[in-house]
Chains A and B, each alone.
Chain A
């Protein structure tokens, strides 16, 4: 592995906590506030890691394993997503299924840890998280299926590597629909507005935050870091589809992809500023709508190849 190929995963591990900072700063900037420094997430994580942990007597090993399993899953996922022109360190045919599985495993660990506390609030949050995830997952799988189908390559690195401007020219319509789907999935999976409000601390309205209420100290630090990494992993998929950087030089491709991540974070910040949270009953409609876009994209790329 050359130095350049090692750079994208390093970027993910190091730069991921920057994304929540950028999103928060965009929000603050648009609403006329100064906001926390860009590096706030790093200092938060550092502070939490230095603390000790307190565990409730009702919890078991499942509760303690939750953050660790979640972080392990998302780090593995980060190693599978190509970024810029470089292929991911971990690539094999069909790895997109494993990617979806790892994200599901991360959610499963968080949900189990939440349920393990025996708290009604956390149980409620877990129930909502699972409900929305069940709707977001088919959208993600279908969107990735379109990418695979339109490039004819079964591994994520291969498919994104073949996603050149020529692919955009022939399957542009389907890829635009996929971008729409991926953006909704991005907002849902990362618990952003309009699905969940990361800023709220009112238990009745929040989803992701409520599940981690009982975690403290290093555990909470790991959860924050894992959430930032997830923001990066799914963002890398979105940017990879949106910007066909394969025609560029490796360094330029990496820089363009990084700029894409920056734009994506700003975009999320803008969405969070101009939109309110949706009613809980409306969220499934949004997600089914996103799935519908993905289905339409599948129909478009399958056209002419069947019958």
Chain B
């Protein structure tokens, strides 16, 4: 199971990097959905034996992260009629290079962290850290409100990966609560995106930094 887990985590990292260079918003949303599926499957490779708790986490994560949230976001871009993230404040290729640098740093940092008991996947912590930081990079360097939502989701995926180290001990209720929070957050953001588009006729978040009456 460890090899499979490593392969899953590597794919998560590859979707992170692919997100940095994708300029089509529907493509980015599908990548985030794919990442959701990968994250949903990840607990299976960590767990020791099947349990109801595990099945609930897997099903809940995939349902929310890979089906519901992407649906909402796809609806939002269809309604708001935005297709591309053109000219982010850091270009696609520089942001890919930054993403790689961040990944390298994540691996360096993770090597210095004390090993967590019960974590059988050596890639888990570095991938969680890089996903977190790449999410942050997306969140800060993109201009379209919708891309920023995607950045937030990637950031949250990184936190989720960190949480996986505790998957065996974490009560189901807490997991579900976190998922619900993310779901509500993304729902509200989807609606806000739609409203911004209706009021300002653009999704460029720079417009929001100026005050007018």
Residues of A within 8 A of B (CB): 172-173, 177, 284-285, 288-289, 292, 295-296, 299-300, 302-304, 306-307
Q: Which residues of A contact B108 (CB under 8 A)?
A: 306-307
Knowing A303-B111, A307-B108, the reply to whether A173 touches B7 (Cβ < 8 A) is yes
CA distance A167 to B180 in the complex (A): 44
**Structural contact, A292 and B7, CB atoms closer than 8 A:** no
Bound form: Cα–Cα A173–B107 in Å: 15
Report how far A201 CA is from B104 CA in the complex, Å: 44
> A101 vs B121: C-alpha distance in the bound complex, in angstroms?
39
B96–A289 CB distance below 8 A:
yes
Residues of chain B contacted by A177 (CB below 8 angstroms): 10
Q: List, in ascending order, chain B residues with CB within 8 A of A304's CB.
A: 111, 122
A296 touches B100 (CB 8 A): yes
Known interface pairs A284-B93, A288-B96; 13 further A-B residue pairs with C-beta atoms within 8 A, sorted by A's residue number: A173-B7, A285-B21, A288-B93, A289-B21, A289-B96, A292-B99, A295-B100, A299-B103, A300-B10, A302-B107, A304-B122, A306-B111, A307-B108
A192 to B178, CA, bound (A): 49
Given contacts A288-B93, A289-B21, are A173 and B111 in contact (CB under 8 A)? no
B-chain residues with CB within 8 Å of residue A284 when the two chains form the complex: 93
A303 and B100 contact, Cβ closer than 8 Å, known pairs A173-B7, A296-B13: no
Contact with A along B95-109 (1 / 0, CB 8 A): 011011001100110
Task: Report the Cα distance A59→B86, complex, angstroms.
Answer: 46
User: Is B175 interfacial (CB-CB < 8 Å)?
Assistant: no
Could you tell me the distance between the alpha carbons of A296 and B107 in the complex, rounded to whole angstroms? 10
Max chain A Cβ within 10 angstroms of own Cβ: one of B6, B107, B112, B122? B107
For B40, the chain A residues whose CB sits under 8 A away are none
Judge whether A307 and B112 touch: CB under 8 Å.
Answer: yes
B126 proximal to A (CB < 8 A):
yes
Any chain A CB within 8 A of the CB of B3?
yes
Assembly CA distance A73 to B17 (angstroms): 36
Is there an interface contact between B126 and A303, defined as CB atoms closer than 8 Å? yes
Residue B92 lies at the interface, judged by CB distance under 8 Å to chain A: yes
